[in-house]
A and B are shown apart, each in its own frame.
Chain A
Amino acid sequence: MAGQTISQKILARNSGQSTVRAGEIVQARIDLAMSHDNALLVSKRFKEIGAPRVWDPERIVVPFDHRSPAPTIEVADGHRQVRLFLKDQGVRNFYDVGFGICHQVLPEQGHVKPGMLIVGTDSHTTTYGAFGAFATGIGATEMAGVWATGRLWFRVPETIRMTLTGRLKPRVVTKDLILHIIGSRGLEGCDYQTVEFGGDLIPTLSADSRMTVANLSMEMGAKNAFLPVDAAARAWLERHADGPFEPVVPDEDASYSQALEYNVNDLEPQLACPHSVDNVHPVHEVAGKKVDQVFIGTCTNGRLEDLEQAADILRGETIHREVRALIVPASRQVFLEALQAGVVQTLTEAGCTVESPGCGPCLGAHQGVLGPKEVAVSTTNRNFRGRMGHVESEVYLGSPATAAASALYGVITDPREA
């Protein structure tokens, strides 16, 4: 029998088998179950099942982030109902308004460890693969089933190996790289499959940068993604993870559906243009287009390193008078670190508006949605029609540096020219 990939090993272990085949369906034990504001829908479905108690309150984590703080009375009431439900069920791992985005809070608060099987009612749950966890998104009804039984079915995925080599140029970051990969693969380029990333670029990347890669892998359809748990990842985990951990590594003779290599030496800043995440072009091809709003934040690019890159461009400058620049730190911890590093002051002095940690306007819910025909450069993860507000608005997805440079000049700008 051929060797096993990381996904095979984790799904085999959690379904009580020694090995599993790609394509096989397994019933697996869930190590961690994350829901955000949509815990309201999950809790309603859970009550419909009729199970009296959740299977394991210690394995359920709920941060509020999508509409947080509540923008309407209706949302406030929903939050209230979730708080009551979680308290009644003894779920202690609840992160109320202001802690930050689920995908930042979970690793930061120590819930994510290599080798875990994690499901979340959010498509960008793939983010935890930056730390070697098998992590994937599911729907609210399915999560209600997980809360009741602690188990879920999985089709064991094939795995694509992506080798990343070379060194990124100044002001080119992993956002540019992963957008470039999505552009070349297409929205369904990795559907149903795992992506195992490797190569000599990885050791040079911060935890923040790695999370961006795992996060956006979802946008090419990946079920989940893994980055290797190398020395840098171990060091990060030792500072954050709740207890010891044992990374799962693929067998040397593991079988892969495809092996691809991307060399980043000549990579330029990239933008995903309206209205699809795979409509990717170098920034210079669309430079000069007038911008109404810039948004720097989210589970994709709202971490300290991202805010520092924006501050590096805006230090001592003032943003263009016809641009609104919104900054939303991914978590309270990120906000605090950005305060201590002077980044919040730099961005505020430049004319940016710093908002409370959470998802911000990413999904068009609150805190800066777009009006008709408005154009945004955003560090977020989706630019489908109407995503961030009006159906006739346009969203260009890029790096924090590209967003900051565009805020400075009021038009789409290559950050290397800022």
Chain B
Amino acid sequence: MGRAFRYGDNVNTDVLYPGRHLANPTPEYQKAHALEDLDGTFVQRVQAGDVVVAGRNFGCGSSREQAVTCLKYNGVNAVIAASFARIYFRNCINNGVAPLVSPEGSAAIQDGDDVAVDLASGRITNRTRGESYPFEPFPAFLLEILNAGGLIPHLRAQAAQTVTV
């Protein structure tokens, strides 16, 4: 699926997406400034399908969801961490980025490993090391939002169903 970009514990929203870039940023602008104060080379190296792997309490701090969408606009559709800060976890779901709680994956995956995520089977596969790790299953209603691509498409689909019934 993609390469792993590995970071540590307590990666906060100020380094994921700094406040100086928050005034009404376009997707292109967010894409260019993703992780700017954490890893200055991230945006040059990242490719669609890559995953971010981190330690505990990923995304602590602000409620700014640009800290999620800046990853999404770079083609990152999954973040693997030992744990997530709660607003960041919700922002991931609502923007169609899978927040995978996997202490095993967080501990084992190294920077640059080739990693694939299967939401349906609940496994993370590490092709580089020939290993796989479980992640905490999502409640059904959250999986529905994720599979719809986020909360907005999910609500639109619900509204469409209501109209046609």
Of all chain B residues, which has the CB nearest A381? B61
Residue of A25, A137, A145, A369 near B87 (CB, 8 A) is: A137
Of all chain B residues, which has the CB nearest A46? B152
CB-based contact A384/B151 at 8 Å: no
A168–B57 Cα distance when bound, in Å, is 32
Query: Can you list, as one digit per residue, whether each of A12-38 has a CB less than 8 Å from chain B (1) or not (0)?
Result: 000000000000010000000000001
Residue of A25, A50, A382 near B14 (CB, 8 A) is: A382
CB-based contact B18/A122 at 8 Å: no
A contact residues, total (Cβ < 8 Å)? 49
Binds A, one of B88-96, B105-113, B129-137: B88-96
Q: Is B10 an interface residue (CB 8 A)?
A: yes
Query: Can you list, as one digit per residue, whether each of B1-42 has a CB less than 8 Å from chain A (1) or not (0)?
Result: 000000000101111001110111000000000000100000
CB-based contact B90/A138 at 8 Å: yes
A200–B146 Cα distance when bound, in Å, is 46
CB-based contact B10/A148 at 8 Å: no
Residues of the B chain whose Cβ atoms lie less than 8 Å from the Cβ of A365: 19-20, 22-23
Residue of A77, A137, A144, A153 near B63 (CB, 8 A) is: A137
Give A residues with C-beta under 8 Å from B: 25, 38, 40-41, 45, 48-51, 66-67, 72, 74-75, 77-78, 120-123, 137-142, 144-145, 148-149, 153, 187-188, 191-192, 221, 223, 276, 363-365, 369, 382, 384-387, 389, 391
Provide a sorted-by-A list of 20 A–B residue pairs whose CB atoms are within 8 angstroms. A50-B156, A78-B24, A121-B63, A137-B87, A139-B65, A139-B95, A141-B91, A148-B155, A188-B85, A192-B86, A221-B85, A223-B86, A276-B10, A363-B19, A363-B22, A364-B19, A369-B20, A382-B62, A384-B15, A391-B18
Give B residues with C-beta under 8 Å from A: 10, 12-15, 18-20, 22-24, 37, 56-57, 60-65, 68, 83, 85-87, 90-91, 94-95, 139, 141, 150-152, 155-156, 159
Given contact pairs A77-B24, A364-B18, enumerate 16 new A-B contacts (beta carbons under 8 Å).
Answer: A41-B24, A74-B23, A120-B63, A137-B87, A138-B63, A139-B94, A142-B94, A153-B141, A187-B10, A221-B60, A363-B19, A365-B19, A382-B12, A382-B61, A384-B61, A386-B15
